[in-house]
Structure 1
C-alpha cells in the first residue's frame, strides 16, 4: 500500500482527479456564490428601506422643499447600515447630499445593467431607493455599509470551499481505490516484471523458471492485452536470444576448431579478436594478442602497407596475401592470409584467415626438386638409349656367328636383358613426360569391339575366354584414340596374365550415368590383398617377376589426362579394373 501511495502514477492521477473535481465544483458553484452575494445585497437594501420608512413621515416628506428635504433625510444616518446619500430631481440634477456621499451617480445608475453598485474593496453598497413619498419628484441614492455582507459572503464561500474540498478528497480517494485494483497495481506489477525479465536476460539466467506477477491481472481489456503482449514479447525475445546464443556458440566452436588462425582487426590495424588457433600458432595468450597490431605479427608488412591494403578492401571481395608471422619467442613461419571486409554495427573490421603454409612451401620445393630429378632422369634415359641401341645392334650381329653353346646362352641372356632395359627406359621416358593428346570424337563401343577382335587374333593359345559386352546404342567420348588403345591393351594384357587359361575375362561397357561412361575389365584370377591395391598404380611397384612396375602407372596417367578415373577392386571372384570417361559435351 505504501508503494502504491508513493507511486508517481498514483500521485499524478490523484492530483489531476482532485484538481478536476475542484474545477468542476467551482464552475458549478460560482453562479450560486454570486447569487448568494446578490441575495445579501438585496436583503441589505430591503432592510435599510424598511427601517427608513419606519423612521420617516410620509406626509412630512411630501411637503418639504429641496434644502429642507436634505436636512430631514440626514436623520437616516442613525441607521447603522446607512452611511449617506444623494438626492436627484427628475431631470437628473443633484439637489444635495448627506453623510458619506455615494460614488454611484444617477446617470451611471441608469446606464448600467444594474441600477446599484457594490464596491467590494471599500465594503460599500450604493443603490437607488424607490420610496413612495418621493416617487415622481426625487431619486434618492443611498450608500450602505456592506461589511456585514462581505463577512457573510466570505463565510458562505468558506462553507462552500470546505464542502468542495471534502467532496474532492472523497471522490479522489474512491477513484484511487478503484484505480489501484484496476490499473495502478497491474501496471506496477508489469513494471517489476519488465525489470525482472531484463535482469534475467542480461544475466543469462534460466528464463523458463520465471513467474511473472502481472499475468493473473491479464483481464479482457486493453491493459490485459498489454500484459499478454508482454508475455508474448518475452517469449519471442528469449527464443531469439536462445537461437542467437546457439548460433554464436556454433560459430565460436567452428572458429575455435578451425585449422586456420582467425584475426579480427580494425582500420588502424589493432587486433580486436582472435581464435584459439591464432594463440597457439603465435605462442601468445588471447589477452596478449588483443594488445598487438598487425605490424607486430606480420613483420614483412609496414603500417603503410597495411593502410594501402585496407583502402583496397571492398565488402564481398577478399584479398589473398602471403606474409611472415612472428611468434612470441622470435621465431616465425610463412602464412597465406585471406583478408575480407566486414561491417558490424556501423563499423568496418577486417577478418583475416591466416594459414600456415610451411608444409605447402616444403611440398612445392619437393615438387620442384622432383621436377628437376624427372628432367634429369629423362636426360639420362635419352643419353643411355643411344649407346644401348648400339649395343643391341652389336649383340644381334653375334647371332650370325657359330658360337659354342655356352657363349650362345650368354649372348641370348645379354640380348634379353638389353631389350628389357630398353623397354624400361622407354617406359621411364613415357612416364616422365606429360601425355600429349590429340583428341577426337570416339564411339567407345566400336573402339572396344575393334580392339577385342584384334587382340583375339593375336592371342596365343591357350588363353582365357574374352566375354565382350557392349551397348546397343552409341556412346561418344572425346579422347586420343591411340592413347586409349594403349590403356585398354595394357589392362587386357594384365588381365590375361592374372587369369588362368580356363578362366573368363569380361570386358563390358556400362550404361552412362551422370555424364560419364564406365568400361570395366574383370578377370577370374586370384584376389589381390587389400593393402596392395593402392600401390598397384605407383611407379616401379609390381607383383610380377617380369614386370617393371610402370604399366599401370602410365595407364593411370593416360586415363587422368582424359579427365577420367581408374579404379581397381579385388575380391574372391577376381579383380576388376574400371575406367570412367566423360561423355562428349559433359564437363
Structure 2
C-alpha cells in the first residue's frame, strides 16, 4: 500500500508535478524571451500542457481511487512518458535530462516500495531503450537537427547507454526501495511500540483509577502532583483543586509534618499513620495512610506517595465490638448484683410501708418515709432494667410490618405522661410494608426507650421526627431525630454503656438495653449528633423476604 494512510502522498505528488512543470515552463519562456534561441521550444510548451491535462485528470480520479497503489502507479507511468518526451526534445541520446527518470524511480520506491521501484525502473529503461532504438533506426527524426550530424549513435554507443542506464535505474531502485522498506518497517515497529506503550499507559491508568484506595503523589517539597479517582472521592476535592496544593494543607497538618515523614522513611521503607480528616462535605472521616518515597528508575528520590483508605466504618465497627465486649461483661455483673439486691430491697420497702401506716400525715417522719419509698421504687426500676438488660428472656422472632409496629408504639407515646403539650411528633413512613423478622415486644422496648430519651432531650419542647424507610443498603431503617441539646462526639459511644445516663432521674440503662436488643437482631446503630444541634439515632435491621408493592412508584410520606 501507499506509505501513510492519508491524503498526503498522492496529493503531494500531483502538487510537486505541477510545481516542476510550471518552473520548467517559466524557465523556457525566460530563455526564449531573453536569449531568443534558434531551436524552437514549442515542444516544451506542448509537454507542459499535457502535464496539466494529466494532472486535472488525476484530480478527477482522486475522488474514486484515493490512495490506491494502482492510482499512484498510473500517475508515475504518465510521468515516465513526460520524461521520455523531455529527453527526446533535448537531444535524445545526448539529452542532459535523462536523470529525471531517476526521480520517478525514487518516487516509486518511496510510495510503492520495492516492487513499485523495480517496476518503474524497468518501465523507464524500456521507454529509454525504445527512444534510442527509434533514433538509431531512423524511425524518429533527431530533434531539433533532423539528422544524425554530430551525434554518436553507433551500435557500441547505444549499447553503452542502454546498459549504463539499466544499471543505474536498477541500482537506484534497489537502494531507494531498500531504504524505504527499512523506514517502513521502522515506522511500523515504532507505531507498534507506541500502541503498546499507549495500551500499557491506559492499562496502568485503569488500574490506578480502579483501586478503591486513594493515591496522592507529591514533590520533595510536598506539592501534590497526581491524584487518582478514589483520592478525589474520599477527600471531596476535584483533581484541579488538589493539583499544586501542599499535602500539609490538605491534611490540616503543621509545617513539621513532612519532616516527620522524612525521618520515619529514613528508618523504614514505609510509614503508616492515621488521621481524622474533615471532608469537603463537612463529614469527619478517619483515614489510614501509608507513605513511601517516590523514586525514578535510577533510585533518585522525586517526592512522596501517600496511599490511604477510609477507615471510618472499620473504626466504628472496632468501637462497636469493644463496646459489645464491655457491655457483655457489665451485663453479667449487673445480673448477679440485681438478684442480690432485689430481695433485701423488697424487705426494706415492705418494712417502711408498714412503719409509715403508724405515722401521722404531714409529719417529718412521714415525709422521710415517703422519700425512702420513692427511692426504693426507683431502685427497683433500676434493678428491673438491669435484669432486662442482662437476661432479657427467650428470643421469639416473628415477621411483622415494621411501620405498623412503630406506629403502635408512637400512639402509646402520644398518650403517655412523658409527651408534653410543647412536644410535637412527626412520623414519616414508607408507603409499602416493611417486612422484618423481630421480637415484637423487644422492638417495642427499643422504640419506647429511644422515644423517651428524645423527649427528655427536649425539656422545653420541640419536634421528634420518626422515620421508617424500606430500603437502605438492603436493610430496613428506623430513625429518631430530636431537636434537643445534642451530644459531643466523646459522649456518643459512652451513652450505650450501662449507668451512663445523660438525664436526671434516669437509670442509665435505656440506651444500653436498646443496644443489646439491636445486637440480638443482627442490626446496627448509627448516631449523628452535634452539641447544640440535636441527635439522630438510626436503627438498621435486616429485611425479611420482599413483598409485592402496594403503592405507586416513588416514595410518599404519611405523618401525624
- What is the TM-score when the length of structure 2 is the normalising length? 0.41
Larger radius of gyration: 1
Higher relative contact order (CA 8 A, sep 6+): 2
